[in-house]
């Protein structure tokens, strides 16, 4: 039985608001940064469809109310077009959901075909009603339409299809994102029901707009830092992905300022103003991304900047002028997008890896060797993560080497420094200068310390059992490990696990720069010294050595860095300074150890400077700890 499906209650206000909101969204898209991905193009098509539906609805209702017979054909066309645009929005929803959730190709195609089938069936029935001329009646207020409720059934079919699709991909979506979509769909259904009950179709098209607004806000909005003009690095990942898939060439300039790359810090306003100007003045279509508080990346397409080399020189000249004004330390990295890095989408990690090898206030153009080193570090980092996760104190990938230390007083070797190496399947032997910084930056260092301590304790226990005279073996510890409340417990647990006395183990530390770390170091040293463990101050004479602080810390042995030994041969003044420091520390009952001794002359000089211990290539290169028995002597019977 036929029923009236369109009522005369209508005001164009609702549709005009939809059109206005559509234009606002387009304006926002033009003046904000949005990656032009396939999902975004589908979204843009959906916005266009809802605007066309709203404009068509205005024309259809205006002509219907006018009730002029000569407009009847146009009314039929507008009615069919209106339905087509509305159902096309549904079809775009189906395709969009499959795209953003990365649904597999086969299922995506099935949903797209089912949606297209619904669209074809509904539109065929709608056109058939129109051609039979049975869908329109004349009323006192103009024309009204009646029919088989095709729109209602089509709406129901599409909603069912979308719900099935959402259920299927529910595990692929973040829960909050899914609830956001469900919430806006619920609002749409409620508004449509109110519209039907009130016999007013004025806001029907707006019910299709709510999910579109949700799509825009959740999936495509990339908020700017309004005062800097930079956007989040997540948008950089989208750009890299789009660049790699489309084959478009981009270039980047990275600026890192460590003074501001800490939690709670921000670039000063003067620096922000300069950065805003640089973003727009030197390159066409450039976008600024914020990797962290003190790290920004300017990315620009090469096809819009064919003279990019000259532009790079111009911006560097301008930057140097600003540097003389602000005097903030920096590191600049410049390079083209590289397929090998783009495929992994890891430019921020890639640039940070390059930073490790750069001097402050320097500029670096990336090359193949940077990519090779990055790949190597990524592999090492993956292995470190696995070592961390396994928590195996006997992990075979961590090798314990050692360097014997010569005791001047006894004239023999009775101590040594334990040193780490990694032996990895794809890379062979890996040295500390590569993996220690990676372990410290990613929180894996303490597990490595536990493993090397355990292996050193095992070796010492074995030597003692075999009757060798072992005073102690020292293990290097990172200052950041002291921040762990369980640090002291972990150290003592491993020593006891190997049935050793604390006096057979020493811990080497470098001096901390911060007051908080200094207090931690003092407390942890005091606690472990009560267990008999001795402490070395490593690398004395480099970095931030502070005599007042050293006096407050209960160290047993002060290790003079090789640079101090070398300095003695540079000038008489340097020699006197080192001599006086060593003599003063010896008089204060610190044992003095000189490392980096390589020649007879080095040995003679160090012995004359109150040295208690000597360490260096003159005596031995680092060797596997199993070979320590060839240096130590057995105790007399």
Residue 60, domain CATH: 1.20.1070
Instruction: Write the pLDDT tens digit of every residue in 508-557.
Output: 998 766 667 788 888 999 999 999 999 999 988 775 556 777 778 889 99
pLDDT above 90 covers a percentage of the chain that reads 52
196 and 263 part of one domain: no
443 and 326 part of one domain: no
Q: Kindly state whether residue 636 falls inside one of the protein's structural domains.
A: no
> Is residue 344 within a helix (H) or strand (E), and if so which, with residue range?
helix 339-344
Closest CA to 575 of 562, 564, 586, 587: 564
Range with lowest mean pLDDT among 125-139, 291-305, 308-322, 374-388: 125-139
Q: Looking at the predicted structure, is the pLDDT value of residue 134 above 70?
A: no
Q: Kindly state whether residue 635 falls inside one of the protein's structural domains.
A: no
Cβ–Cβ < 8 Å for 507, 406: no
564 and 592 part of one domain: yes
Residues 6+ apart with CB under 8 A from 616: 562, 594, 595, 596, 597, 598, 602
Last residue of a domain, one of 337, 366, 395: 366
CA distances for 437 relative to 367, 380, 431, 449, 453, angstroms: 22, 11, 11, 13, 19
Residues 6+ apart with CB under 8 A from 383: 397, 422, 424
Range with lowest mean pLDDT among 165-174, 477-486, 578-587: 165-174
Instruction: Write the pLDDT tens digit of every residue in 448-465.
Output: 999 999 999 999 999 999
Residues 6+ apart with CB under 8 A from 24: none
324 and 407 part of one domain: no
Token pair of 131, please?
């051609």
192 and 257 part of one domain: no
Q: What is the pLDDT of residue 68?
A: 74
Q: How far apart are CA 373 and CA 353, in angstroms?
A: 8
Q: Kindly state whether residue 371 falls inside one of the protein's structural domains.
A: no
Cβ–Cβ < 8 Å for 319, 278: yes
SS (H, E, C) 269-289: HHHHHHHHHHHHHCCCCCEEE
Q: Looking at the predicted structure, is the pLDDT value of residue 377 above 80?
A: yes
Domain count, the chain: 3
Tell me if the pTM is above 0.85.
no
Locate tokens 């030197």: which residue? 282
- Give me the mean pLDDT over the 481-504 stretch: 94
Q: What is the pLDDT of residue 7?
A: 44
Q: Kindly state whether residue 415 falls inside one of the protein's structural domains.
A: yes
Confidence of residue 172 (pLDDT cuts 50, 70, 90): low
CATH code of residue 319: 3.30.70.270
8-13: which pairs have CB atoms within 8 A and are 24 or more residues apart? Answer: 8/64, 8/65, 8/139, 8/141, 8/142, 8/144, 9/198, 9/199, 9/200, 9/201, 9/202, 10/61, 10/65, 10/200, 10/201, 10/202, 11/200, 11/202, 12/58, 12/61, 12/62, 12/202, 13/202
CATH code of residue 499: 3.20.20.450
Confidence of residue 307 (pLDDT cuts 50, 70, 90): very high
Instruction: Write the pLDDT tens digit of every residue in 382-412.
Output: 999 999 999 999 999 999 999 999 999 999 9
Q: Kindly state whether residue 185 falls inside one of the protein's structural domains.
A: yes
Q: Looking at the predicted structure, is the pLDDT value of residue 263 above 80?
A: no
Q: Kindly state whether residue 84 falls inside one of the protein's structural domains.
A: yes
Alpha helices in 169-230 (DSSP H): 175-197, 206-215
247 alpha carbon, distance to own chain's centre: 24
Closest CA to 248 of 339, 348, 309, 335: 339
Q: What is the pLDDT of residue 216?
A: 77
69 and 203 part of one domain: yes
Last residue of a domain, one of 345, 366, 387: 366
What angle is formed at CA 619 by the lines to CA 613 and CA 623, rounded to 5 degrees?
110
Instruction: Report which of residues 197 and 44 the model is more confident about.
Output: 44
Confidence of residue 432 (pLDDT cuts 50, 70, 90): very high
> Is residue 317 within a helix (H) or strand (E), and if so which, with residue range?
helix 308-326
Token pair of 368, please?
């193949």
Last residue of a domain, one of 220, 245, 272: 220
176 and 264 part of one domain: no
Closest CA to 43 of 238, 243, 217: 217
Q: What is the mean pLDDT of the chain?
A: 87
Q: What is the pLDDT of residue 51?
A: 94
Q: Looking at the predicted structure, is the pLDDT value of residue 2 above 60?
A: no
Instruction: Report which of residues 449 and 127 the model is more confident about.
Output: 449
232 and 209 part of one domain: no
Q: What is the pLDDT of residue 1?
A: 38
Q: Kindly state whether residue 303 falls inside one of the protein's structural domains.
A: yes
Give the domain extent around 254.
Answer: 224-366
Cβ–Cβ < 8 Å for 469, 635: yes
């Amino acid at each position: 039985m036929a029923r009236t499906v369109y009522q005369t209650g209508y005001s164009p206000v609702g549709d005009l608001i939809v059109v206005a909101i559509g234009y606002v969204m387009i304006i926002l898209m033009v003046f904000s940064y949005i990656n032009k991905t396939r999902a975004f193009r589908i979204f843009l098509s959906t916005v266009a469809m809802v605007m066309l539906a709203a404009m068509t609805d205005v024309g259809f209702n205006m002509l219907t109310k006018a009730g002029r017979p000569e407009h009847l054909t146009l009314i039929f066309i507008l009615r069919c077009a209106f339905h087509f645009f509305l159902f096309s929005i549904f079809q775009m929803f189906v395709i969009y959901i499959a795209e953003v959730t990365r649904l597999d190709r086969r299922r995506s195609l099935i949903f797209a075909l089912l949606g297209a089938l619904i669209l074809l069936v509904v539109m065929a029935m709608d056109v058939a009603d129109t051609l039979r001329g049975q869908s329109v009646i004349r009323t006192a207020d103009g024309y009204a339409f009646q029919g088989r409720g095709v729109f209602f059934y089509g709406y129901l079919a599409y909603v069912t299809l979308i719900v099935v699709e959402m259920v299927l991909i529910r595990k692929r979506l973040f829960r909050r994102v899914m609830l956001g979509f469900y919430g806006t769909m619920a609002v749409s259904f409620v508004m449509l029901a109110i519209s039907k009950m009130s016999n007013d179709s004025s806001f029907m098209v707006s019910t299709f707009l709510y999910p579109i607004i949700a799509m825009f806000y959740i999936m495509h909005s990339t908020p700017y830092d309004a005062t800097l003009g930079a956007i989040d690095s997540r948008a950089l990942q989208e750009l890299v992905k789009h660049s790699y898939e489309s084959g478009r060439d981009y270039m980047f300039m990275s600026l890192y300022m460590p003074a501001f790359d800490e939690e709670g810090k921000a670039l000063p306003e003067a620096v922000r103003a300069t950065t805003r100007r640089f973003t727009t003045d030197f390159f066409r279509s450039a976008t600024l991304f914020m990797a962290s508080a003190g790290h920004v990346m300017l990315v620009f397409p090469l096809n819009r900047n064919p003279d990019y080399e000259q532009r790079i020189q111009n911006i560097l000249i301008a930057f140097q002028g600003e540097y003389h004004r602000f005097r903030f330390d920096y590191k600049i990295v410049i390079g083209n997008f590289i397929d090998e890095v783009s495929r992994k989408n890891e430019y921020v990690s890639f640039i940070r890896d390059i930073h490790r090898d750069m001097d402050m206030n320097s500029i670096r153009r990336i090359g193949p060797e940077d990519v090779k080193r990055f790949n190597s570090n990524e592999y090492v980092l993956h292995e470190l993560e696995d070592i961390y996760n396994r928590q195996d104190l006997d992990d075979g990938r961590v090798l314990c080497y050692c360097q014997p230390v010569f005791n001047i007083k006894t004239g023999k070797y009775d101590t040594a420094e334990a040193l780490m190496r990694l032996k990895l399947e794809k890379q062979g032997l890996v040295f500390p200068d590569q993996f220690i910084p990676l372990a410290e930056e990613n929180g894996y260092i303490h597990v490595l310390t536990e493993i090397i301590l355990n292996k050193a304790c095992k070796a010492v226990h074995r030597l003692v059992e075999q009757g060798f005279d072992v005073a102690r073996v020292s293990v290097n510890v990172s200052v950041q490990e002291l921040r762990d409340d369980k640090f002291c417990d972990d150290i003592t647990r491993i020593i006891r696990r190997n049935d050793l006395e604390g006096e057979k183990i020493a811990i080497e530390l470098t001096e901390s720069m911060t007051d908080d770390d200094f207090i931690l170091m003092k407390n942890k040293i005091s606690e472990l010294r009560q267990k008999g463990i001795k402490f070395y101050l490593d690398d004395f004479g480099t970095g931030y050595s502070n005599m007042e602080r050293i006096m407050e810390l209960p160290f047993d042995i002060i290790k003079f860095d090789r640079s101090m030994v070398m300095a003695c041969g540079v000038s008489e003044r340097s020699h006197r300074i080192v001599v006086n420091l060593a003599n003063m520390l010896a008089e204060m009952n610190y044992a003095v150890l000189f490392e980096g001794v390589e020649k007879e002359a080095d040995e003679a000089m160090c012995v004359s400077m109150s040295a208690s211990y000597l360490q260096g290539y003159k005596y031995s290169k680092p060797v596997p700890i199993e070979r320590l028995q060839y240096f130590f002597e057995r105790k007399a019977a």
